[in-house]
């Protein structure tokens, strides 16, 4: 199989995931999506209300009416964790929030973004069928490059998929090798990426109305194999490195908290009971 055909097969696997068993909290109705970044002319803000029926690129909508930024939400049918047996557990649902360039993949990801800028994706009012806890050790940012564009580079990337993890270590880490994670020729993952300048906040954890906000510096869209090579003219590289054409944020939601959260809740409950026992009777 030629490299181009092989990479195309890998690319398809990156975009279409196997269905997962959905027995955990699942989203119903639409969530409010806001995508924003700073331009020289001021902040650019796109808003849409989007349900979770997305499965493939055929379900893309122009976010905020902007044809340059395609988007969909998905529940249990799109996402990298679905490709690993057992990585989505029986009491969980996998929520995915995906952005795409137009089919040509030749436009800039974020037109007119300022140098050293960041992008922010915020999704609010995710209405679940039952109270849900975000499993923070499943939060992952996936980025994918166009194989044909990569082949044009003087030093093409071996891996057209990159992964950022956090804010905790990715659960089931060893199970992601070799289907998703690899160390050749360089690691295609960074499990400490979503901390510090890349931040994720969770809203309404443990309720039936969740939300999150993730802020990612533009430089995080540089392939981990990039060696400051000169990108040929005609490829989308506004700040000197080839852009991916797709990225998404995914995480699992469970009807029980992850172990670290459960311990904190237990300690909090114990502290409250202890205080009550010490409090004088009215």
Query: Among the listed ranges 89-103, 125-139, 267-281, which one has the minimum average pLDDT value?
Result: 267-281
Please give the pLDDT value at position 72: 98
Looking up tokens 């995915």 gives 96
Q: Which residues, including other chains, have CB under 8 Å from residue 235's CB and lie 6 or more apart?
A: 106, 149, 152, 153, 242
What is the Rg, in whole angstroms, of the alpha carbon atoms belonging to the chain? Answer: 20
3-state secondary structure 58-76: HHCEEHHHCCCCEEEEEEC
Mean pLDDT computed over every residue of the chain = 88
What are the tens digits of pLDDT across the range 69-127?
999 999 999 999 999 999 999 999 999 999 999 999 999 999 999 999 999 999 999 99
- 3-class state of residue 246 by DSSP: strand
222 φ, ψ (degrees, to nearest 5): -85, 130
Please give the pLDDT value at position 273: 44
Instruction: Tell me the pTM.
Output: 0.86
With contact defined as beta carbons under 8 Å apart, do 56 and 15 qualify? yes
**In this model, does residue 18 exceed pLDDT 80?**
no
The model's confidence at residue 12, banded by pLDDT at 50, 70 and 90, is very low
CA neighbor of 154 nearest in space, from 54, 62, 237, 73: 237
What are the tens digits of pLDDT across the range 196-216?
666 789 999 999 999 999 999
**In this model, does residue 7 exceed pLDDT 50?**
no
State how far the Cα of 161 lies from the Cα of 143, in Å rounded to an integer: 6
Tokens of 202: 């969770």
Tokens of 119: 């992008």
First and final C-alpha spacing in the chain: 80
What are the tens digits of pLDDT across the range 31-84?
999 999 999 999 999 999 999 999 999 999 999 999 999 999 999 999 999 999
**In this model, does residue 236 exceed pLDDT 90?**
yes
């Amino acid at each position: 199989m030629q490299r181009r055909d092989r990479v195309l097969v890998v690319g398809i696997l990156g975009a279409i995931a196997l269905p997962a068993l959905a027995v955990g909290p699942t989203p119903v109705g639409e969530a409010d999506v806001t995508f924003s970044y700073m331009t020289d002319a001021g902040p650019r803000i796109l808003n849409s209300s989007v349900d979770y029926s997305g499965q493939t690129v055929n379900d893309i909508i122009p976010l905020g009416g902007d044809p340059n930024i395609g988007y969909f939400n998905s529940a249990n049918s799109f996402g990298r964790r679905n490709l690993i047996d057992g990585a989505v557990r029986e009491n969980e649902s996998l929520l995915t929030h995906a952005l795409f360039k137009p089919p040509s993949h030749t436009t800039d990801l974020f037109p007119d973004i300022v140098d050293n800028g960041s992008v922010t994706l915020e999704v609010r009012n995710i209405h679940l069928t039952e109270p849900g806890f975000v499993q923070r050790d499943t939060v992952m940012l996936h980025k994918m490059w166009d194989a044909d564009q990569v082949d044009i580079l003087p030093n093409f990337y071996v891996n057209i998929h990159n992964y950022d993890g956090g804010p905790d270590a990715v659960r089931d880490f060893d199970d992601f090798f070799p289907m998703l994670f690899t160390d050749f020729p360089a690691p295609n993952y960074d499990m400490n990426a979503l901390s510090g300048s890349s931040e994720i906040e969770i809203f309404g954890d443990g309720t039936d109305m969740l939300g999150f906000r993730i802020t990612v510096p533009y430089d995080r869209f540089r392939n981990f194999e990039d060696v400051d090579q000169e990108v040929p003219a005609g490829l989308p590289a506004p700040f000197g490195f080839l852009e991916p054409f797709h990225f998404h944020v995914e995480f699992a939601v469970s009807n029980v908290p992850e172990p670290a959260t459960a311990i904190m809740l237990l300690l909090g409950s114990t502290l409250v009971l202890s205080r009550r026992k010490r409090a004088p009777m009215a």
